[in-house]
Amino acid sequence: MGQTMREQFYQLVEARKSIRKFKKDEVPHEVIERILGAALHAPSGKNRQNWKFFVVQGKKRDDYLKYSQKSWLGIKDLLQARLKPSLYEFTERFFFTLGDAPVLIFAYSNNSPDERYHTSIGSVYMAVQNINLACVAEGLGCCTMGAPLEIKKEVDEFLGVTELEEYKKGELELLCGVVLGYPDHEPPKAKRQTEGRITWLK
């Protein structure tokens, strides 16, 4: 890897931030495919590649808004205690509109008795990080959301996941959602906290 490529990589990582307001422009299908292709190149425990992604667009995306609004009810009190009022109001609007993001991706882990649970879900989160970085490379913004877990069973049913054999065996688990599209705001990136985060042992 040359100097230029190395510098570009670190610029890419540092440029990543959560976007919660999007233009309504559609994202070309081939761009979404490239982003998901990046996800599929993530490492995974025992090379099981145990991720499953469900891409939601169009009317199905609009239908999901009522679930997003319901998931807000499970976390709004916690966020109200943590956020200043203006940011709290912005976040509430995001949950009611998903920031007009045209694409939703739901990430699942296909867990199995032959792999430790945390290794399985960790593999999927590494793939989700690749999605985050690929969005930056494509000039898109995204936001990874844990809120769908507040109403996990309802999201499973909405996506039709409950009809899958691995779900019926208790092996398919929703881990997060990702909204993505072309950014329509430029929020500041939260300062990185370094104190006490790294321990060096020799």
Q: Which domains does the chain have, with CATH numbers?
A: 13-181 (3.40.109.10)
Q: Residue 1's pLDDT band (boundaries 50, 70, 90)?
A: confident
The rounded distance, in Å, linking the Cα atoms of 188 and 104 is 23
With the C-alpha atoms ordered 111, 112, 113, 116, is the resulting torsion angle positive or negative? Answer: negative
* 144-173 tens-digit pLDDT: 999 999 999 999 999 999 999 999 999 999
Whether the CB-CB separation of 175 and 131 falls below 8 Å is answered with no
* 94-131 tens-digit pLDDT: 999 999 999 999 999 999 988 999 999 999 999 999 99
Mean residue pLDDT across the chain: 96
The rounded distance, in Å, linking the Cα atoms of 123 and 21 is 28
Could you give the maximum distance between any two Cα atoms of the chain, in Å? 56
The pLDDT value recorded for residue 4 is 93
pTM of this prediction? Answer: 0.95
* 23-51 tens-digit pLDDT: 999 999 999 999 999 999 999 999 999 99
